[in-house]
Amino acid sequence: MKKMILMAMIPAFLGCASQEMIRVRQMGIQNVDIKNVRDGEYMGSFSYGGFEYRVKTIVKGHSIEDIIILQNRDTKHSKRAEGVITDIIRLQTPNVDAISGATTTSKALMKAVENSLRK
């Protein structure tokens, strides 16, 4: 009986997980006018799939100087998604193209950076 209940719950859970994944993949990432951000270190996070992605964004001279990933999943897709950090620094905005094959984690990291700069 317990197995039947568990088996019945799996599709519902997977449906929720996939709906959340779709929401994250489609969410907008806003540009932040870095000229309005004072020099400093800013913490930001974004939660998805029961996990919190955390970053520290360092701003100097109204420029994103560095972004340190404080918490990311330990999977090949998550490690691949870290490539967005280079693009964010180069383009000076969290609104960059996601890494192909790691879209969801890319968006989570971009949103964490955006959130850090909006504080």
At 105 the pLDDT is: 95
At 13 the pLDDT is: 44
User: What length does the chain have?
Assistant: 119
At 72 the pLDDT is: 97
Give the CATH fold of the 2-117 domain: Sufe protein. Chain: A (3.90.1010)
At 119 the pLDDT is: 78
Query: What's this model's pTM, rounded to 2 decimal places?
Result: 0.84
What CA–CA distance (Å, rounded) separates 39 from 63? 8
For the cut 80, the answer to whether the pLDDT of residue 1 exceeds it is no
Taking residues 71-78, what's their average pLDDT? 95
What phi and psi, each to the nearest 5 degrees, are found at residue 28? Answer: -80, 145
